[in-house]
A and B are shown apart, each in its own frame.
Chain A
Amino acid sequence: MSIVIVGAGQAGLQIAESLRRGAYEGRLVLIGDESFPPYQRPPLSKKYLADQMADERLYFRPLEQLEKQQIEFRPQTRVTALDREAREVVLASGERLPYEGLALTTGTRVRPLPVPGADHPAVCYLRGLDDARRLRERLPAAARVLVVGGGFIGLEVAATARAAGKQVTVVEALDRLMARAVAPVVSDHFASLHRARGVEFRFGVGLASITAQADGSFTASLADGSSIQADLLVAGIGVLPNQELAAAAGLECRSGIVVDEYARTSDPRIVAAGDCTWHINRRFAAAHRLESVQNAVDQGKIAAASLLGQSVPYQDLPWFWSDQYDVKLQMVGLSQDHDAALVRGETASGAFSVFYFKTGALVGVDSINRPAEHMLARKLMQTGAVVPPEAAADPAFDLKTCLPPA
Chain B
Amino acid sequence: MPKITYIDVDGKAFETNVASGLSLMEGAINAGVPGVLAICGGSCACSTCHAYIDDAWTTVVGGPNDIEDATLDLANERKPSSRLTCQVQITDAMDGLIVHVAKND
Q: What residues of chain A have their CB less than 8 Å away from a CB belonging to chain B?
A: 40, 42-43, 57, 60-62, 65, 68, 293-294, 297, 319, 321, 323, 328, 330, 371-372, 374-376, 378-379
Q: Collect the chain B residues with CB atoms within 8 Å of residue A43's CB.
A: 41, 43
Which chain B residues (1-57) contact chain A, with CB distance < 8 Å? 22, 26, 29-30, 32, 39-41, 43-45
Q: Which of B42-78 contact A (CB under 8 A)?
A: 43-45, 66-67, 69-71, 73-74
**Complex formed: what's the CA distance from A65 to B14 in Å?**
14
The reply to whether B43 and A323 contact each other, CB–CB distance below 8 Å, is yes
Complex Cα distance, B41 from A68, in Å, reads 21
Q: Can you name the residue of chain B whose Cβ is closest to the Cβ of A41?
A: B41
B45–A321 touching, CB < 8 Å: yes
Question: Contact at B74–A42, with CB atoms within 8 Å?
Answer: no
Cβ B73 vs Cβ A42 within 8 A: no
Partner of B29, one of A61, A68, A297: A61
Q: Which residues of the partner chain B approach A68 to less than 8 Å between Cβ atoms?
A: 32
Checking B32, B73, B74 against A65 with a beta-carbon cut-off of 8 angstroms, the contacting residue is B32
Closest to A68 in B: B32
Where the two chains meet, the residues of B that have a C-beta atom closer than 8 Å to any C-beta of A are 22, 26, 29-30, 32, 39-41, 43-45, 66-67, 69-71, 73-74
Whether B66 and A42, one on each chain, are in contact in the complex, defined by CB atoms closer than 8 angstroms, is no
B70 near A374 with CB under 8 A, answer yes
Closest residue of B by beta carbon distance from A21: B34
Give the nearest-CB partner of A367 in chain B: B70
| Distance to closest chain A CB from B86 (angstroms) | 11
CB of A60 within 8 A of CB of B70, answer no
Q: Are A372 and B43 in contact (CB under 8 A)?
A: no
CB-nearest residue of chain A to B72: A375
Q: When the two chains form their complex, are residues B67 and A328 in contact, meaning their CB atoms are under 8 A apart?
A: yes
- Sampled A-B contacts (26; CB under 8 Å): A40-B41, A42-B40, A42-B41, A42-B43, A43-B41, A57-B22, A57-B26, A61-B29, A65-B30, A68-B32, A293-B40, A293-B41, A321-B40, A321-B43, A323-B43, A328-B67, A371-B44, A371-B70, A372-B69, A372-B70, A372-B73, A375-B71, A375-B73, A375-B74, A376-B73, A379-B73
Choice from B26, B29, B66 contacting A371 with Cβ under 8 Å: B66
Tell whether, in the assembled complex, residue B29 and residue A60 are in contact, meaning their CB atoms are under 8 Å apart: yes
Q: How far is the CA of A371 from the CA of B70 in the complex (A)?
A: 6
Chain A's nearest CB lies how many Å from the CB of B54?
24
Q: How far is the CA of A293 from the CA of B70 in the complex (A)?
A: 20
A371 to B29, CA, bound (A): 25
Q: Which residues of B contact A379 (CB under 8 A)?
A: 73-74
**Which of A60, A294, A297, A378 is the one whose CB lies under 8 Å from B74?**
A378
Determine the chain A residues whose CB is within 8 A of the CB of B41 once the complex forms: 40, 42-43, 60, 293
Q: Please tell me if the beta carbons of B70 and A375 are within 8 angstroms of each other in the complex.
A: yes
| Inter-subunit contact B67/A371 (CB<8 Å) | yes
**CA of A321 to CA of B67, assembled, Å:** 13
**A12→B45 CA distance, assembly (Å):** 21
CB of B45 within 8 A of CB of A330, answer yes
Q: Which residues of chain B are within 8 angstroms of A376 by Cβ–Cβ distance?
A: 73
Q: Contacts of A323 on B, CB cut-off 8 Å?
A: 43
B21 to chain A, nearest CB (A): 10
CB closest chain-B residue, reference A69:
B32
Q: Which 7 pairs from chain A and chain B are nearest by CB? A: A372-B70, A371-B70, A40-B41, A371-B67, A65-B32, A297-B39, A375-B74
Q: How far is the CB of B66 from chain A (nearest CB, A)?
A: 7
Shortest distance in angstroms between B105's beta carbon and chain A's nearest beta carbon? 9
* Distance in angstroms between the alpha carbons of A297 and B70 in the assembled complex: 22
Since A294-B39, A372-B73, A375-B73 are in contact, a sample of 14 more A-B pairs with Cβ atoms closer than 8 Å, ordered by chain A residue number, is A42-B43, A43-B41, A43-B43, A57-B22, A60-B41, A61-B29, A62-B30, A65-B30, A293-B40, A321-B43, A371-B44, A372-B70, A376-B73, A378-B74
Minimum distance in angstroms from B16 CB to a CB of chain A:
12
Interface centre among B22, B43, B71 (most CB of A within 10 A): B43
Shortest B104–chain A CB gap in Å is 12
Q: Which chain B residues border A65 with CB–CB below 8 Å?
A: 29-30, 32
Closest to B47 in A: A375
| Residues in A neighbouring B73, C-beta threshold 8 A | 372, 375-376, 379
